[in-house]
Structure 1
Amino acid sequence: MTEDWKQDRIAAAHRGDNPTVIGRLPEAFAVIGDVQWLPGYCVLLTDDPAVGRLTDLPRARRLAYLESVERLSTAVEHACAASDPAFRRVNIEILGNADPFLHTHVFPRYEWEPPEIIQRPVWLYPVERWSDPQTALGPQHDPIRAAIAAHLHDQT
Structure 2
Amino acid sequence: MTDGWRTDRIGAALRGENPTVLRRLEAGFAVIGDVQFLPGYSVLLVDEPGVRRLSDLPRGKRLSFLSDMDRLGEAVERACLRLDPGFRRVNLEILGNTDPFLHAHVWPR
Same fold (TM > 0.5):
yes
Q: How far did 1:69 drift? A: 0.4
The one-letter amino acid paired with 2:47 is D
- C-alpha distance in 2 between matches for 1:37 and 1:25: 24
1:19 — aligned with what? 19
Root-mean-square deviation (CA, aligned residues, Å) is 0.7
- C-alpha distance in 1 between matches for 2:29 and 2:53: 16
Aligned to 1:45, the other structure's residue is in SS state strand
Q: Residue by residue, what CA displacement relative to the aligned partner does 1:27-78 show, whole Å, maximum 9, x if unpaired?
A: 1000000111300000000001211110111111110110000000000000
The runs of 5 or more residues in structure 2 that have no matched partner are: none
Going by fraction, where is helix more abundant, 1 or 2?
Answer: 1
Aligned to 2:18, the other structure's residue is in SS state coil
Corresponding pairs, count: 109
Q: How does 1:46-65 map to 2 (within 5 A)?
A: 46-65=46-65
1:71 — aligned with what? 71
- C-alpha distance in 2 between matches for 1:22 and 1:98: 22
Aligned to 2:88, the other structure's residue is in SS state strand
Q: How does 1:34-53 map to 2 (within 5 A)?
A: 34-53=34-53
Q: Residue by residue, what CA displacement relative to the aligned partner does 1:94-130 show, whole Å, maximum 9, x if unpaired?
A: 0011111100000000xxxxxxxxxxxxxxxxxxxxx
Structure 2 length-normalised TM: 0.97
Instruction: Name segments (4+ residues, structure 1) moved above 6 Å.
Output: none
Aligned to 1:91, the other structure's residue is in SS state strand
Aligned to 1:48, the other structure's residue is in SS state coil
- C-alpha distance in 1 between matches for 2:86 and 2:75: 17
The runs of 5 or more residues in structure 1 that have no matched partner are: 110-156
Q: Which one has a bigger Cα radius of gyration? A: 1
- C-alpha distance in 1 between matches for 2:34 and 2:83: 19
- C-alpha distance in 2 between matches for 1:99 and 1:49: 12
- C-alpha distance in 1 between matches for 2:80 and 2:18: 23
